[in-house]
Amino acid sequence: MKNIIFIIKHYKPNNHLIMNSVFRKIFIIIIFTIISSNLAKAQTEGNFIKVSIGYGSSTSNYEEENPEIIDGTGFFAQGEYIIGVTKWFSVRPYAGVIFTSTSEDAVKNPQGYKVETNAFLLGAKVRLCAPIPWVAPFIEAGIGASIGSFETYTNQVNEKKSGVVPHIPISLGLALGPKNNIEIGVTFYGNLSGEQGFGAFTAGYTFPVNW
């Protein structure tokens, strides 16, 4: 998780080309399937609830001399209420939690650096999804707030903040199965007024409201 977050926020020119290539391929797939969506079957129209759990990670917004040790890891969980407008577009209010801590191992982290997040997440996002049974790629973005404590101590930053911090969620993943109700993905939350960002590798399950 920390490697993906680090690449997204600190990529070099070569990494930039790789990320552009990946996003370009996903975008082409989504556009193609949207055009042909009247021929496809999917479960995304209607109202659903999605629950997710995952491996959470938080990292500093600044590039460090040894970024491998300046991160926090822990637990992530989130629930979403899905309003399926069409087969390929949905609105998703969400609420979740993330708890991360940094290793205090004196050998691996001799400076005592830490990037830790303990927060409640609240917001809304939209999803574009290729309406393909069994394997449907999707991308999400939105706006929300993190409510909790955020501690970032590195050789460039010394900040401890508590309260409400706005964030922007961005997610990529795959909806699997004949009804696309099993999901795997990665989610990143970019803080708009803090010195750290956080995210998670997630697995989720979606079920209809009236089931």
pLDDT digits (tens, 9 = 90+) for 168-188: 999 999 999 988 999 999 999
**Spans of the chain below 70 pLDDT:** 1-44, 63-69, 107, 211
CA of 89: how far to CAs of 10, 28, 45, 116, 141, in Å?
30, 16, 8, 34, 12
pLDDT, position 156: 82
3-state secondary structure (DSSP) of residue 113: coil
Report how far apart the first and last C-alpha atoms of the chain are (Å, whole number).
Answer: 34
Cα gap 136→26, rounded to integer Å: 11
Q: From CA 29, how far away is CA 26, in angstroms rounded?
A: 5
* Count of C-beta atoms within a 10 Å radius of residue 207: 14
Distance CA(2)–CA(199), nearest Å, equals: 9
Residues 6+ apart with CB under 8 A from 119: 97, 98, 146, 147, 148, 149, 150, 165
Residues in a beta bridge with 187 = 171, 200
Q: Which of 166, 137, 136 minimizes the C-alpha distance to 150? A: 166
pLDDT of 74: 97
Q: What is the pLDDT of residue 121?
A: 98
Secondary structure of residue 21 in the 3-state scheme:
helix
pLDDT at 108: 72
Q: What is the pLDDT of residue 68?
A: 58
- CA 81/CA 91 separation, integer angstroms: 8
pLDDT for res 71? 87
pLDDT at position 154 is 86
pLDDT of 89 reads 95
The backbone region for 176, taken as left when phi is positive above 0, alpha when psi lies in -120 to 50, beta otherwise, is beta
pLDDT at 6: 45
Which of helix, strand or coil describes residue 75? strand
Tell me what pLDDT residue 145 has. Answer: 96
Q: What is the DSSP letter of 179?
A: T
